[in-house]
Structure formats: structure tokens, C-alpha cells
Structure 1
């Protein structure tokens, strides 16, 4: 079974100018992806990053810089305007990988998921870390190309090249991803 994970489509990340320029385009692609998935009965999960002001959830770089962000309840932590969120399950994480310190593995097992489609930001950080951990959990990964963005295209290209080659993960155009919802037999291992 397939599930869609939409990662970190939050105001804080789109403060970055390179991501801000692509915000409407990525939101539209994510909305197309989640709408088609839900219509096909495919599980969708919105994942967001939130931190506490007391530093208890901060990563090493945040601690080193004494600079936190995306505090729970702040405007930075809200999903970007226009992103479809109504009646879609949500999960909070505090690290780049959606698997780290969360119940994602249990949710995917409960849904009988063996393949995740990834969307959101940033391709070279949270998307890549989630993809690497999915591989470690024997879960296949497909990247919905138009629904993923990054502020560092060179890093994203390098990381995705390794993940697609070494972990046999696929980057597909959105229209091909949408076709998977109606023909699950096209997935490896299906």
C-alpha cells in the first residue's frame, strides 16, 4: 500500500527567498497530490516541525547558535496559506527525519504501507533524511518531483542522486505519481 507524506509545508521554511518564489507552485502540487490520494483512498499525513522555547527539543546546530525557531503555536509553525489541511491527519516532529522520535513507523504499519510518496521541503534535509530512514525500515520511496522544493538545489541534486542510485528510490513527475493511485501494480514489490 501507498501513503503520502507532506513534510514541513510551514511558514518558517518559506521565509527563505528561494522557497518563497516557489511557494504557490509547490502548494498547488501538494494539493493536487493529496486530493488525488484521498480520492483514491490513499492515506495522507501532514508532517510539521515544532520546537519548544525551553531548548528541550532543539537540534545541535540550534543549541550551538543559541537560536531556536518554529516554536509551537507561532505563526512560523503554521502551515502555509492555501495548503489543504482539513480532515488530514497531522504529526509533529523535532528532527529532520519524520521517523526520528515519532510514531510514523507504527502509523505506516497500521496502514500496511510499503511505499511512501514524499512531498514538501526541503529536498536536501527533511525529505532526504526521511527517505533514508524509510529505506532503513524497508519502505520504498517515491519523490513527487513538482511537490518537492529546496533552498539548496546543488545539495538536493547530489543527495537525491545518491538516494535514487543506492536506495533505488524514484523521482517521478506528478502526473506519473497520480497514476500510481489507480494502478498500484506498477510499484516494485506490488
Structure 2
């Protein structure tokens, strides 16, 4: 029995490509690479009529949206209406659908599933930060929702490269989520686009 293509009815999901996350030296060093590869993915998605979903983390200063860790440390971040929650200015997200989240997973208490159902999406391409936290949590919940996942591995980043490598290996081995380079994802998107046009 053949395995269905993981890019069947895909959506591109960009995770936490926000100014606040790139204030750390480790992610700041990856900024140019990430933006270049994500913009390449966005351009391919746009050319093939693939939905682009831009996920941002936003919190309230009144602590009502804070995580347990934030509450324990009594330190919040990514507050609404601050520079930190803005998308990276070089990122070309025009025409994307926005999802605002309060936790690591883009599925937790958001309209993500509704959006995917509306667009009849059955597979996700994930890009953004951080691989071992928000990307991993979103990928895990996508698996629970029976969605195929491709991780655009050179359009992802983390502060700890060894932890990132271990996380991506786990997602690949445990959930059979594919690890592909940006150029491979772009090629697959155009292949899907050509099939639809036939």
C-alpha cells in the first residue's frame, strides 16, 4: 500500500517569527537564514495557492494569559502592542492568515483547526522557532489531529542545536514527520500545484 503524499492539500505554518524571540544571540545569528528560507517558502506557497498561516505568541500584562513557568518566575514577555510581538520586519507575510496563541502549540485554545478545516488542509509545512518548544508542540498536536507534517529543517532554529537535532529526530522517528530542506519543500509544492492544474 502506497504512503499518501505529505504535501497533499498543504498549508505553510510560520511559527513565532517575532522580534522578541530573536533578541537572544543564538537566534539573532540565525535570523537572515530563517527569513530567507521562510520568504522562499512563502513565495512558493503564494504561487501555488497554498494557504500561509502566520502564528504569533502574544500575552497580556495582567498575567491572565501567562504560563505556569511565567507565573512561577513572575516574569512575562511578548506583551500585546509591543515591538517584541511584531513579526520580523523582513518577513513577507502579506495575505497570510494570522493565529494568535498563548501556549507553545498553535492548536491550544486557538482557531487553528477551524482554519484548516475551512481550507480543507490535510498536511502542514512547519517553519519558524523554536524547534524544541513551539514547533515541536505544534507538530505533536498536528499528529494527534491526523495531519501529515513536513518540517522545513533549514527554515527552523533553536537556541540549543543539540536539543533541536534530538527533537527533530524524535518527531521523524515517532510520528514519521518528514525532514526536508526548503528547496525540496518548494519543489514539492510546485509538483502539487501542477497536479491540481491537470
TM-score, structure 1 length as denominator? 0.95
| 1:151 matched residue in structure 2 | 159
1:160 paired with 2:171, answer no
Paired with 2:55 and 2:75, the residues of 1 have a C-alpha distance of 22
The equivalences for 1:117-128 within 5 A come to 117-128=125-136
**Corresponding residue SS for 2:19:** coil
**Corresponding residue SS for 1:182:** helix
Paired with 2:29 and 2:191, the residues of 1 have a C-alpha distance of 34
TM superposition shift of 1:184: 2.9
TM superposition shift of 1:162: 1.1
TM-score, structure 2 length as denominator? 0.91
Aligned-CA RMSD value: 1.0
Structure 1 window deviating more from structure 2 (160-169 vs 80-89): it is 80-89
Kindly tell me the number of residue pairs found equivalent between the two proteins.
Answer: 185
> 8 Å contact 2:58–2:79 — kept in the other structure?
yes
Structure 1 runs (4+) greater than 4 angstroms displaced: none
- For structure 1, the residue ranges without an aligned partner over 5 or more in a row are 186-190
Match of 1:176 among 184, 189, 195: 184
| 2:48 matched residue in structure 1 | 40
**Corresponding residue SS for 1:83:** coil
- For structure 2, the residue ranges without an aligned partner over 5 or more in a row are 1-8, 194-198
Q: Deviations over 1:48-67 (max 9, x none)?
A: 00000000000011000000
> 8 Å contact 2:66–2:102 — kept in the other structure?
yes
| 2:20 matched residue in structure 1 | 12
TM superposition shift of 1:87: 2.1
TM superposition shift of 1:165: 0.5
